[in-house]
Structures are given as C-alpha cells and as structure tokens.
C-alpha cells in the first residue's frame, strides 16, 4: 500500500469520460501476478520519517500510490455481477469489498495501472476510480518553549468543564498508528478497536503518533496523575490504519471510518491531511455522518494554500499558536472549517512518558475532544448540529467572518457548550445547501459524453440539483447520488464552465465553485481509435463444464485484426494471428487440473492501430 504526502497533495480523481480505446491489458491477464508488498514497506522504512524536520520531510520522494491497487466506487443500482465483470475484463481482481459504501479494492498489474484506471473511469458502472494513496502523519518537530498545556486555557476548557465535567459516554475513535494501552493516562480508557492495516484486533501503537493524538483528545484528567485533556473521561477507540512507518492508506482509512461508525464511535479523528481529496474517503465520511458520527481531520502542515476541495462530511482543522496566530505550518484553503491550538501541545507519548508536539495532527484532536463534550452534554445532537454550533461559537480570527486560514475561527469549548445548553441546536432553515462538482475536475480535457458527479448536502435535505453549462441549466437530478451525462459533442471545442446549483426543501439555494473544462471532440480523420469487437460465442456466461472447456471467439474490427488471445484464469491458453477485419479462434482447454467452482475466460483482440477489445465470461467446473 502506498503514499501521497499528507500536505494536501491528494487530488480528487476525475474520470476521462470518453475513452474509445480499450486499455492495454496484455500483461494484466497474468492474474496470479502479485507485488511483494514486503519490499515496498522496506522501501518506506528506508525513508525514515520518524523525527525529521519539516524541511526534510518536504524533500523526501514518496511513492505516489500502492503500485498494484485501485479503489472503485460502484454506482448505486449497478448489479454486483456487472461491476465484477467490468473490472475482470481488465484483469483486475477483488482484494476486499466495503459493502456499506460500495467501495471495491482491486489488485491490478502495476505495469499497466494507468491504462486500467482509464478504462475503468470510462465505465458508467463506477462513480469514481482512484489510486490507493498513503497519508503521512501531519506532524512537525517539537518546540518545548511553550508552557505546559496552554491550549486548554486558550479554548476555555476549565470553564467548559464546569458545564460538563469530562465527556463521558462519547467514544472518540483515533484513526492512527495505534494507541499505547499501558500509558498511565490512557490505561483503562480504551474500548475494543480494530487494525485495518493487518485486518486484526491488534491496536498497539507501532509508530508513536497515535498515542500522542489520543492524549491530546482524551487523556485521563482530574486523577492526580500526569496531565489532562479536552475530554478526559471519553472512551478511546483505537483504530490502527498505518504501517510501522506511520503511513495510512486510503483503503485503511476508509475501512477504519466504516468500522468505527458501525461500532458506536461518536467522533472520529484522522490526523492526516487533505483526506477530503479522496472520493472513497468522502464516501466513508458521509457514511459515518449518516450513522450520527462527526469526522474531524487535520488541515495539513504544508504552510501553503491548498486546493483540496471542501466537503460537508468532515471538519478540517488548522493550527494556531498561544497568541492566536496561525501556525506557520498550517495549511490554508477553502476546505478549512476551524482552527485550534496546535503548537507545543503537551501530550502523552508511547512508553508512559509525556512531551510536546506540534502540527495540525494535534489541533484536530482538540476539536474532536470538544465534540465529545458536546455529545456528552446532549447525545441527541446531529453532526450538522455539531458543525453549526462549532462554527457559530468559534472565536473569529484573521479577516472578519470566514477565511481560508482560520475557517470560521478558533474553537471555543465553553461557548460551544453554552450554545448546546441554551437551546437544543437546530441549524436554521435559511442555511443554503453545500454543493461541489466531484467529476470532472477543473482544467480537465473532456470529449464525447461526459459524466458529471455532484455532491450536495443540507441541514434539512436537498430537493434537487441543477447542472449549468456556461450559465445555462442543462439538466436536473432530484435523487442522490446526483449524476449527469453531458453530451459535449453538441458544444464547441474549447473552454466551458460547469456549475451546480442545489435546492433544499425550504427553497434555499447553494452554488458550487465554478470549474472550467476543455472540450476536444476534434477528429483528424486519420487515426483509428476504435477497438475490435470481441464476442465469446462459447461457452456462454455461467455455463458448467467437466473435463474440458471449448472456447470459440469471434472478432471484428473497422480496419484490421492482428491478434487474438484467450486466457483461462489469467493464463494464456491460445492465440491466433490475423490480417483481416474479421477473425475467429477456437481453443480447447483440458481442465483435469482445475479446481471445482468458478473460473474466468477472457478474450483479447488487438488491431493494427494498437487498440484492444475484450470480452469475459465465468464458467463453473462440476464435481
């Protein structure tokens, strides 16, 4: 499994929506190919990010993604068998399915991953296709010059504790490197968690980051030992999502959010930056929100203006210092919702010790702790209630009102709890919906029929979403997920602007940020981009066999077929050269050595222009 930087460099995936060329899958059919991930992790270990400075961390060259994995989101209503056939024809195999949100984790041939990704993106069966990226913990070096735990006074923690002592009953899930259950300020606080990296229940801290994050949110307080925290009586649910070098992956974070949501977490903290850039993580955060949980994440430590998109499904937190100034490392952008103390936070460390830590990794759990206090005071709050209260009660910093540095301001625990006590939070009905175009992405080149996917959310419910092209409404969708098909061949080549407008049931409207795409439907008239048409005449899909399989394939092309290949369970069992626009091949595969059960047959055809067509069927060996 593989990394992108935790400094906001994870971009939302946008399908190339008109791909007439089938992906080159010649080597993909070697279905038993596996990357030895052990060697990949040894590579990560050689990077050595344990105690580097921010500068050296930025200088590291990190693998961009797991070299042989993709994540796909299956569109609602698409049959499981259809989705399976769609990726099997590229040679991809299923590693794991997360059925709650329709995400499939696939293994593919790393030498052909780009082509396979393009092919899957061109299919309407999937809402997204993305790499399984990794996220570095958002931490920078410690600065021991600040007083111990100054941040608790900064957010008016002592006054908040007079209203609700400790956050009891609100479980905080820490998605990180694990938690040291033996630490004197954490012992006895942990509820059963899970390890999505190793797929087991061992949640011991393998890197040290998770113990620090857990202590910032919910270390034991008022016990005469060690230090305090924001929500000192909140149970901690450890979810280990990282390898031993502290890298979390899209797949492990997605599984962690779903597991925590299904097992009673009230709040989930991810101290990894720019997670909103992943469609799979947005889907998982939306699922958690539907279960009544609040997801909090770090804004990131790049100290730059970050283009990560905003999402209504999680709260992104920047970092402030003891003077309420923005920390020099804190990332900025439209996705930043709040700020919280994140410089020299005194917290727990693995092995029973304590120490200072800085970064948005530690401002995020401060907000998670405040959310736990709110749930402890009123467990009937909804995630939208929580967001509305946090934003309306934050201490406004920087430019008046919302800004991209501090978001709505620095969190104020006392004022948030007063708001919860004063009247049960009910987000006003004049709040407009939030709406974002997920695909295509800004600046993308598109052609043909373009799939446009839109995310919209509202406190009282979205009634409709309209898609606008160059200022004119061209389509309306009234049912989530909001998806549109735009026939770009009806418009001129060049730049076009897409916007989405969402309506709620009270008549309020919200408009997405505009994005510009480049339409190119030009046809040179000389290049052949049409793949051969492949038909497996026999056996039919679902047919049973015993001693042998007799395969008959028919191929037609608009120019010339050059070669046909037939694979049984990823192994080449026959091929035929051809020099006409129509060819046939017959192959007999004796199956005495084949196990009983389901097997795949895939036929590939190559034309003279390098285009590839494919077809696949599943057959079953009888006893």
* Catalytic site positions: 176, 209, 361
DSSP readout, 376-426? HH-TT--HHHHHHHHHHHSB--SSSS-BTTTBT-B--HHHHHHHHHHS---
Report strand pairing: 315-320 vs 294-298.
Answer: parallel
CA dihedral 362, 364, 367, 368 (to 10 degrees): -100
Angle between helices 383-393 and 413-422 (to 10 degrees): 120
- Beta strands at 194-195 and 449-457: parallel, antiparallel or unpaired: unpaired
Within 8 A by CB and 6+ apart from 118, the residues are 16, 19, 23
Distant-in-sequence, close-in-space partners of 524: CB < 8 Å, separation ≥ 6: none
Give the separation between CA 257 and CA 196, rounded to whole angstroms: 10
Q: Could you tell me if 208 and 349 are in contact, meaning their C-beta atoms sit under 8 angstroms apart? A: yes
Reading phi first (left if > 0) and then psi (alpha if -120 to 50, else beta), residue 314 is in beta
Q: Which long-range contacts (CB under 8 A, 24 or more apart) does 220-223 make?
A: 220/184, 220/185, 220/186, 220/188, 220/189, 221/166, 222/165, 222/166, 223/185
Element (H, E) at 446: strand 445-446
CB atoms within 10 A of CB 479: 10
Contacts of 340 (CB under 8 A, 6+ apart): 151, 155, 317, 318, 319, 320, 363, 364, 366, 367, 410, 411
Task: Record the tokens describing residue 378, joined without a space.
Answer: 């009123």
């Amino acid at each position: 499994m593989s990394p992108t930087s935790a400094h906001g460099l994870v971009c939302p995936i946008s399908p190339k929506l008109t791909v007439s060329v089938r992906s080159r899958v010649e080597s993909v059919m070697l279905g038993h190919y596996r990357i030895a991930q052990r060697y990949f992790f040894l590579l990560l270990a050689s990077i050595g990010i344990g105690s580097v400075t921010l500068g050296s961390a930025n200088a590291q060259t990190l693998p961009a993604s797991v070299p042989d994995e993709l994540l796909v989101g299956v569109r609602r209503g698409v049959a499981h068998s259809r989705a399976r056939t769609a990726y099997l024809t590229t040679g991809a195999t299923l590693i794991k399915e997360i059925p709650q949100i329709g995400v499939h984790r696939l293994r593919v041939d790393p030498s052909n991953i780009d082509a396979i990704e393009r092919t899957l993106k061109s299919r309407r069966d999937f809402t997204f296709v993305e790499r399984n990226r990794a996220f570095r913990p958002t931490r920078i070096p410690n600065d021991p010059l600040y007083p111990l735990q100054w941040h608790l006074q900064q957010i008016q923690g002592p006054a908040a504790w007079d209203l609700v002592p400790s956050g009891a009953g609100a479980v905080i899930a820490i998605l990180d490197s694990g938690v040291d259950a033996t630490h004197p300020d954490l012992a006895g606080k942990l509820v059963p968690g899970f390890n999505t990296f190793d797929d087991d229940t061992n949640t011991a801290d393998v890197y040290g980051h998770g113990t620090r994050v857990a202590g910032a949110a919910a270390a034991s307080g008022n016990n005469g030992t060690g230090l305090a925290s924001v929500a000192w009586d909140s149970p901690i649910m450890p979810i280990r999502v990282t390898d031993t070098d502290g890298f979390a992956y899209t797949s492990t974070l997605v599984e962690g959010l779903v597991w925590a949501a299904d097992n009673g977490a009230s709040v989930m903290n991810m101290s990894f930056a720019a997670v909103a850039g992943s469609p799979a993580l947005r889907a998982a955060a939306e699922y958690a929100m539907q279960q009544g949980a609040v997801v909090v994440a770090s804004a990131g430590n790049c100290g730059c203006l970050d283009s990560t998109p905003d999402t209504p499904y999680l709260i992104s937190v920047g970092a402030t210092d003891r003077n309420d100034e923005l920390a020099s490392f804190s990332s900025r952008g439209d996705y930043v919702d709040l700020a919280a103390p994140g410089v020299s936070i005194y917290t727990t460390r693995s092995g029973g010790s304590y120490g200072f830590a800085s970064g948005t990794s530690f401002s995020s759990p401060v907000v998670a702790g405040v959310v736990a206090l709110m749930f402890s005071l009123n467990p009937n709050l909804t995630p939208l209630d929580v967001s509305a209260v946090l934003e309306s009660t934050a201490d406004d910093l920087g430019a008046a009102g919302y800004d991209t540095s501090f978001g709505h301001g620095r969190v104020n625990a006392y004022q948030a709890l007063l708001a919860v006590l004063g009247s049960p939070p009910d987000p006003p009905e004049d709040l407009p919906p939030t709406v974002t175009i997920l695909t295509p992405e800004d600046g993308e080149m598109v052609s043909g029929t373009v799939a446009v996917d839109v995310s919209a959310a509202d406190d009282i419910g979205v009634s409709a979403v309209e898609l606008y092209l160059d200022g004119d409404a061209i389509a309306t969708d009234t049912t989530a997920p909001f998806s549109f098909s735009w026939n770009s061949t009806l418009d001129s080549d060049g730049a076009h602007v897409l916007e989405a407008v969402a309506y709620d049931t009270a008549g309020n409207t919200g408009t997405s940020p505009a994005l510009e795409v480049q339409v190119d439907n030009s046809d040179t008239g000389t290049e052949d981009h049409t793949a051969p048409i492949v038909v497996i005449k026999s056996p039919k899909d679902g047919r049973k066999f015993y001693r042998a399989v007799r395969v008959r394939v028919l191929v037609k092309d608009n120019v010339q077929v050059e070669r046909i290949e037939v694979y049984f369970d990823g192994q080449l069992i026959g091929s035929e050269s051809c020099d006409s626009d129509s060819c046939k091949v017959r192959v007999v595969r004796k199956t005495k050595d084949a196990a009983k059960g389901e097997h795949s047959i895939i036929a590939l055809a190559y034309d003279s222009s390098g285009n590839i067509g494919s077809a696949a069927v599943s057959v079953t060996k009888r006893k």
